[in-house]
Amino acid sequence: MKRTLVIGDIHGGYRALVQVLKRAQVTAEDMLIFLGDYVDGWSETAQTIQLLIELEQKQPCIFIKGNHDVWCEDWLRTGKAEPSVWLVNGGKETIDSYSAFSDEDKLEHLHFFERMPIYYKDKKNRLFVHAGFTSMHGAEHETFKPNLYFDRTLWEVATILEEVKTHTDYEDTRLGLYREIYIGHTPTIHFDSDIPINAINLWNVDTDAAFTGKLTILDVATKQFWQSDPLPELYPGEKGRN
């Protein structure tokens, strides 16, 4: 049976991606929706991107662009590591991971980043976006496009409404524009959880693979999820983005 599976931030954790795809028993019939931030952190960013390109050739995939992906894309295009904040947030590890990759490989990866959408809405009015949006008319009408991969206010609204149990009022907020919303960007570990968090109709699937947590795949229909081992265990001796 075909499933729609959503995958949280990977941050160069190739080994975690391979492991969790196996644990979820992903087949070519499954639709995979990745929420962005494929790069920066662990030592196998280039290998991760290569695997994603190969997956795209085997089955339906959507690759949402995250803020770290924007930085990596710019580097692949220009050869310049800007902004400087990128280097101290995993960019150096990403650059190092490309040392064995040819110019032709890098160009293929650049094209992969260039064709990534910054959000995806399916036929059931479910929104998939890296971070969030600020427009009261939805992601489709966001004036400042970087909000889609930087915004955290949508997550803040959802968690506040969840805390005060005002589910009946959420339709009057940005959340009410969609049946469900799936995001990454804000690690759940900051909220004392190493599993996906549901607040109102929003699901946060960034389970901290960049730091001390795990990589997660979640079935959007059943909400069953699968996780890798903690990334520091898969990359002993490395720091990730810690």
Structure tokens at 172: 């009057």
Percent of the chain topping pLDDT 90: 93
How many beta carbons lie within 10 A of that of residue 214, not counting itself?
A: 24
Q: In order of start, what are the domains of the chain with their CATH numbers? A: 4-220 (3.60.21.10)
Confidence (pLDDT) at 90: 95
Structure tokens at 82: 């800007």
User: CB within 8 A of 110, min separation 6: which ones?
Assistant: 73, 76, 77
pLDDT in tens, 120-142: 999 999 999 999 999 999 999 99
Query: Over 90: is that where the pLDDT of 169 sits?
Result: no
How far is C-alpha 19 from the geometric centre of its chain's CA atoms? 17
Query: Over 80: is that where the pLDDT of 71 sits?
Result: yes
C-alpha angle with apex 114: 86 to 128, nearest 5 degrees? Answer: 85
pLDDT in tens, 196-229: 999 999 999 999 999 999 999 999 999 999 999 9
pLDDT, mean of residues 167-195: 92
- How far is 193 from 128, CA to CA, in rounded Å? 21
pLDDT, mean of residues 51-70: 97
Q: In what order do the strands lie in the sheet with 119-121?
A: 119-121, 126-129, 180-183, 202-204, 197-199
Confidence (pLDDT) at 174: 94
